[in-house]
Chains A and B, each alone.
Chain A
Amino acid sequence: MENQLPAMPDVIAQVPLNNYVLLASILFIIGIAGVLIRRNAIIMLMSIELMLNAVNLLLVAFSSYRSDPNGQIFVFFIMAVAAAEVAVGLAIIVMIYRNIRSIDISLLDKLRG
């Protein structure tokens, strides 16, 4: 099966794999920093999306360097699941906004030991 796949086009090979890995890692770290630092629920959600997209980029890069479609199929699943996750997340945020009229998570401190 794998022998029938077309070889990697030269265009892709001109940029080394490490560049993609580096870019994806940087995006991923920006996403992590966003989640940890920002206190606005929507922006945290966006940062999580950034993390997932960094992973997608990484998977696509590996996939094309290995001429193996599995990685790209995984990207489809990640995109679909991320959409479902964001839908639930936004619904939770709307629910909170209706109750407290704000989406700043530092206002949420009712649960303490």
Chain B
Amino acid sequence: MISNLPQDFSPILVQFLLALGFVIFTIIITHVLGPRLKSKQKEDPFECGIESEGDARTPLSVRYFLIAILFVLFDVEIIFMYPWAVNFKSLGWFGFIEMLTFVAFLMAGFYYIVKKGVLDWERD
């Protein structure tokens, strides 16, 4: 019989502990067993490549950030469509027109962004 008592989930806990134990075991054992050799040459990024330059964490363009933020904004607004979709039949035309108004406001914002040139990747 399928039940959902907390103790029925104990195999998951066991598996989780096993996985965690394996990871810890491997990390420790490689540190203990592995040979340790340190030299200037070894620490270099690559023996005969070009000199490494700057930091690995180069700053991203602000344009990328803008688009990410705009994506999040428009993405989150979609959640208001879920309750509407569930009750689509019972809300009928009234709900449809309400949703059209909502989308129209969103699209007005989107059109503003486009006009403003935020999505213009090549600019500047």
- Size of chain B's interface in residues, with CB distance under 8 A? 16
Judging by beta carbons under 8 Å apart, are A79 and B79 in contact? yes
What residue in chain B is nearest A15 (Cβ atoms)? B6
Cα of A106 to Cα of B97 in the assembled complex, Å: 50
Q: Which residue of B lies closest to A84 (CB)?
A: B73
Which of B62, B76, B82, B83 is the one whose CB lies under 8 Å from A83? B76
Looking at chain B's contact residues, is the secondary structure mostly helix, strand, loop, or mixed? helix
Chain A, Cβ-Cβ closest to B68:
A90
CB of A23 closer than 8 Å to a CB of B: no
- In the assembled complex, the Cα of A73 lies from the Cα of B83 at a distance in Å of 8
- How many angstroms from the CA of A90 to the CA of B65 in the assembled complex? 9
Instruction: Check if B73 sits within 8 Å of A83, measured CB to CB.
Output: yes
Contacts of A43 in B (CB 8 A): none
Interface contact A76-B5, CB-CB below 8 Å? no
Interface of chain B residues 27 through 75 with chain A (CB within 8 A): 62, 65, 69-70, 72-73, 75
Q: Contacting A14 at CB < 8 Å: which of B5, B73, B77?
A: B5
Q: What residue in chain A is nearest B77 (Cβ atoms)?
A: A80
* A14 to B8 alpha-carbon distance, docked (Å): 12
Q: Min CB distance, A49 to chain B, in Å? A: 12
A interface list, Cβ under 8 A from B: 10-11, 14-15, 73, 76, 79-80, 83-84, 86-87, 90-91, 94, 98
Interface residues of B (CB under 8 A from A): 4-6, 62, 65, 69-70, 72-73, 75-77, 79-80, 82-83
7 residue pairs, one from A and one from B, having the closest CB atoms: A83-B76, A87-B69, A11-B4, A76-B79, A80-B76, A83-B72, A87-B73
